Structure 1
Amino acid sequence: MEILKKNKAVIRFLGVFFGTYIVLTLAYQFYLDNVESEVYFPEPITHIVALQTESLISFFGYETKMIPSHYDPSMRLGINGDYLVRVVEGCNAMSVIILFLSFVLAFKKDWKTTLLFIFAGSVLIYAFNILRIALLTIGIYEIPKYQELMHGTLFPIFIYGFVFLLWIFWIRSYKTEEKPSHE
């Protein structure tokens, strides 16, 4: 029992982190299993991410088009008539946001600050992810020989590195309230 008392903070962190991660992952899977939309293929979140990515690519000055894939549950994005990328459910950043949120809750401060940081961080991750997909699409269009490097290495580092920086910011601002000693 002494070891539990000594490691109470670590055990609490692990319990909150894994508990939150499991519950949110199951809730997200329930959403995926039960959402059906003929308008928002393959499902609403991924569809909206693809739409917003298409708009961002257009903003950067490229002629772009998005269409539903006939081969798999994805949206295809193209530039100048060449369909270059598939935006699948795994590209919508929800699993990354769940990971981010689980970590932040495990280092919870007061509820107001924690929920505000979770909201702001989730919005930033979502926006950063759209930028990531847009830059990946443009990169594949402009320099296709580096497609594997960009998709498999650089852009995962891009999104997970950003989440890591948010975590570092949260940890650095995290302060446990010291209990006054009664001497």
Structure 2
Amino acid sequence: MPKFMNFVKQKTNKPANMTDTTVKDAKKQADRKAIKFIVGLFVLYILFSQGNLFMYSVMTPTGRFYNPYLAEHFDYIQGLKTALITPAVWIIKLFGFYAIHNEMDVLVVNGPYLRINYSCLGLGVMSFLAAFVLAFPASWKSTLKMLIIGLITIYILNVCRIAGLGLLFGYFQSQRNYFDYHHEIFNVIVYIIIFVMLYIWIRKNTVKG
């Protein structure tokens, strides 16, 4: 009888031990994934953000690493400026203002003069979004979809920001010298929107996983 009782105890305790081991293994695996994600996010963000700054230096004639050939054939930074300025000017004109522009400036007649610098392009926010999405453990299809939607969202918001400044200062000329924090306001709004999008995306991918 005692042998039988010992056998029963062993059979009873075995599932509990297996459960504890499974929980510990799952926790270790989750910790490894979390660490991998944080390291990946940090490395990719530094790579993207500093890479863009380096390429800005390469594309700018006064830059430390200026390269005429690359600046002529691969200037994606100027391409982004043009892609932001052109639709913003269209929107300003739709509201009855006359606006002219060049490669980096927008002049609204009887309105403001806007200069689109590197800090206006939103590359910092784009770098964070790209780093986060690529570092997060999700399927490539879901990752690519979120990356495209997020980047397009940032781009559209930036176009609206530039057009909005032109219209705001066109209608309210007295405010031109007082609205110096539009970069900070834009970044806060965009980060809030991006964080909401990422939260929904993470929940969707976590449930599927």
> TM exceeds 0.5?
yes
Return 59-68 or 101-110, whichever deviates more: 59-68
CA contact (8 A) 1:136 1:150 kept: no
Determine the structure 1 residue equivalent to 2:15.
none
Q: What is the distance in 2 between the residues matched to 1:46 and 1:76? A: 10
Separation of aligned partners in 1, 2:134 and 2:201: 10
Matched, 1:7 2:37: no
* Cα distance in 1, alignment partners of residues 199 and 99 from structure 2: 36
Deviations 1:3-50 (A, max 9, x none): x94732331121110111112123323322223249x8x833223322
1:60 aligns with 2:95: yes
Identify unmatched segments of 5+ residues in structure 2. 1-24, 60-70
**Secondary structure of the corresponding residue to residue 146 of structure 2:** helix
Q: Match of 2:160, as an amino acid?
A: L
Contact kept? 2:107, 2:114, Cα under 8 Å = yes
Partner of 2:163: 134
| Residue in 2 that maps onto 1:121 | 150
2:106–2:113 CA contact under 8 A, matched in 1: yes
Q: Indicate the residue corresponding to 1:173 in structure 2.
A: 204
Q: What value does the CA root-mean-square deviation take over the aligned residues?
A: 2.9
Indicate how the Cα distance of structure 1 residues 176 and 168 shifts in structure 2: closer, same or farther if over 3 A, else same.
Answer: closer
- Percent identity, please: 23
How far apart, in 2, do the equivalents of 1:43 and 1:153 lie?
Answer: 22
TM-score by length of 2: 0.67
User: Given the superposition, is the C-alpha separation of residues 140 and 169 from structure 1 closer, same or farther in structure 2, using an over 3 Å criterion?
Assistant: farther
Cα deviation for residue 126 of structure 1 reads 0.8
User: Within 5 A, what are the aligned runs for 1:91-130?
Assistant: 91-130=120-159
Contiguous gaps of at least 5 residues in structure 1: 69-74, 179-183
- The alignment partner of 1:62 has SS state of coil
Question: How many aligned positions are there?
Answer: 168
Task: Check 1:20–1:96 CA distance in 2 against 1; reply closer, same or farther (3 A cut).
Answer: same
Q: Which moved more, 1:143-152 or 1:43-52?
A: 143-152
- Letter of the 1:63 partner, please give it: Y
Q: Residue 87 of structure 1: CA displacement?
A: 0.9
Using structure 1 for the length normalisation, give the TM-score. Answer: 0.76
The answer to whether structure 1 residue 84 and structure 2 residue 113 are counterparts is yes
User: 1:181 is matched with which residue?
Assistant: none
Which protein is richer in helix relative to its size? 2
User: Where does 1:31-70 land on structure 2 (aligned, <5 Å)?
Assistant: 31-35=55-59, 36-37=71-72, 43-67=78-102
Report how far residue 114 of structure 1 moved. Answer: 0.6
Whole-Å separation in 1 of the counterparts to 2:112 and 2:181: 17
Amino acid at match of 2:206: K
Cα deviation for residue 55 of structure 1 reads 2.0
